[in-house]
Structure 1
Amino acid sequence: MEIFYANEINGGLALLDADESAHCVRVLRHRVGDEVTVVDGIGNMYRCRLSDDSPKGAAAEILETVPGWGGHSYSLNMAVCPTKNNDRFEWFVEKATELGVDVVSPVIGERSERKVFKAERSRKIALSAMKQSLKAKLPLVEEPVSVRDFILGHSGDSGVKMICYCFEGETLRRSIKDVLEGLPSDSAVTVLIGPEGDFSPEEARLAVGHGFVPVHLGPSRLRTETAAVTAVTACYLRFME
């Protein structure tokens, strides 16, 4: 199933940008009159008929609108420290989008090996993964902030907030499965995942002091991107209808 993305819906038309138009017209050779499927990145899928096959700005007449296409009932914000090898973080973004995530928040910890993160490439990967996995909502990939600023900025959030941290026996941790088990299907969930060197004790204490529940992901020691995808998968399986 071919999916095209239009970030502009105007007057009953879905307007494709230059990249999507070129893919639709030049690569896949669609022409005026062809039926195409378009998503808008905010949850709607449109069954359309191509009305302009310009490779620089194609347009499609909307025949039917399907809201909430490929969506999920819960809201998930994954706050993850970017990895030293950027390919590994991009792999996480791709897989999280396929499974179901609403916000990816890159956070820079005191022990992070990567202190600079450029979000634009991850946004392109999320867009591609959204279409590949038959979804209509594009995850928001935020600009990076420090772990401290993220914790303080989300101090008053509703829903459940979790931090995956070793704690070395000083704090009782619950399994993420246990925390998710009793939640309603429309819950808002935030998960904080640290760098390879883990959060600093100060960051962990700050998170717990602002309502983050200490959790573990099982007995295995996981890389940052593996831990992040495991947390996304736990939410996906818990709330899957």
Structure 2
Amino acid sequence: MEVMVILGLAGYAKKSIFADMEVFYSNDIRDGRIRLSPEESAHCVKVLRHRVGDEVYVSGGDGNLYRCTLEEADSRAAVARVLSVEGGFGTHPYRLWMAVAPTKNIDRFEWFTEKATEMGVDRITPLLCAHSERKVYNQERGQRVIVAAAKQSLKGKVPQLDGLTSFRALMEELHSAGFTGQKFIAYCDSDIAAGLNTRVPLTGAVAAVKTEGEAAAGEALPGALFLIGPEGDFSSEEIAAAMEAGFTPLSLGPSRLRTETAAALCVAAVYTALCV
């Protein structure tokens, strides 16, 4: 069976008054004024040629969309006055935390963070594992990637992006702070898998997340945490530690997927099941 899908738009969004809207980003909100960064100011004033009195929209990264009027059209420090606020702008009906080992080619990991932000993710933790080839991560550059993706996809909330975090530190955080949601780990080692419980297919994992949300009846958003390892996979010790911490082994199908593909697949599955 052959299936052909034709998308007529480079960027797709459900038809709304926001579909063609330009959104700026700033978390500098004080006294009813929003101050844009030098980069956002230049884009607003030099590129789009906005002038004093123009109406502009700003995402505060806090889940709100601010409708503003431009008060100071300075290409290095533009200032806008807030007219109204739309809460819950571009949000999603779930809590999704992705802990993913950055790839040796950082462009691939940044591609994942961009696409995850576009679909809907709440927290991204770059994970340092025993078999990781990449042992450094530029968090500042990564933040720019997800802010740009949040603006492009009309997200009112920018995901939390952590610095590079060791696998052990993540387990310690989960032990001390806990996580109220489903926890899954995807890995490749079939020998290790043979000694553990049967892996849950991704469809089953997402169904469990959806069921959790239905059971909460709107009182709390369903949550999920996915662990995706490096090209060299998780070590046997890391897999054992995750299992002890209550993670469920996850199957992503018969194909051998790259790290960023596996991570994006998990985000897409949750987004599709709960948003589309």
> Between the two proteins, what is the percent identity of the paired residues?
48
Ranges of 4+ aligned residues in structure 1 off by more than 6 Å: none
Is the aligned partner of 1:104 residue 2:130? no
Deviates most, 188-197 or 173-182: 173-182
- Please tell me whether the aligned partners of residues 152 and 210 of structure 1 are also in contact (alpha carbons under 8 angstroms): no
**Number of the residue aligned with 1:36:** 56
- Please tell me whether the aligned partners of residues 189 and 233 of structure 2 are also in contact (alpha carbons under 8 angstroms): no
Where does 1:11-22 land on structure 2 (aligned, <5 Å)? 11-22=31-42
Q: In 1, distance between residues paired with 2:37 and 2:188?
A: 45
**Number of the residue aligned with 2:106:** 86
Task: Give RMSD over aligned pairs.
Answer: 1.2
Deviates most, 4-13 or 119-128: 4-13
1:157 to 175, 179, 184: 179
Q: In 2, distance between residues paired with 1:33 and 1:117?
A: 41
Q: In 1, distance between residues paired with 2:123 and 2:140?
A: 14
Q: Give the Å deviation of 1:101.
A: 0.7
TM-score by length of 2: 0.85
2:139 to 102, 119, 128: 119
Q: In 1, distance between residues paired with 2:159 and 2:150?
A: 8
Is the aligned partner of 1:192 residue 2:227? yes
Is the aligned partner of 1:202 residue 2:202? no
**Number of the residue aligned with 1:177:** 203
Q: In 2, distance between residues paired with 1:30 and 1:198?
A: 49
Give the AA of the match of 2:243: V
- Please tell me whether the aligned partners of residues 80 and 106 of structure 1 are also in contact (alpha carbons under 8 angstroms): yes
Q: Give the Å deviation of 1:176.
A: 2.1
The DSSP-based 3-state class of the residue aligned with 2:212 is: coil
Q: Give the Å deviation of 1:167.
A: 4.2
Q: Give the Å deviation of 1:220.
A: 1.0
**Number of the residue aligned with 1:223:** 258
Over residues 115-154 of structure 1, what are the superposed CA-to-partner deviations in whole Å (9 max), with x where a residue is unaligned?
1122111110000000000111011110111112212211
TM-score by length of 1: 0.97
Over residues 144-186 of structure 1, what are the superposed CA-to-partner deviations in whole Å (9 max), with x where a residue is unaligned?
1111221221132221111011341332100122122123161
Q: In 2, distance between residues paired with 1:114 and 1:194?
A: 12
Aligned residues: 241
Gaps of 5+ in 2: 1-20, 215-220
- Please tell me whether the aligned partners of residues 80 and 104 of structure 1 are also in contact (alpha carbons under 8 angstroms): yes
Gaps of 5+ in 1: none
Structure (1/2) with the larger strand percentage:
1
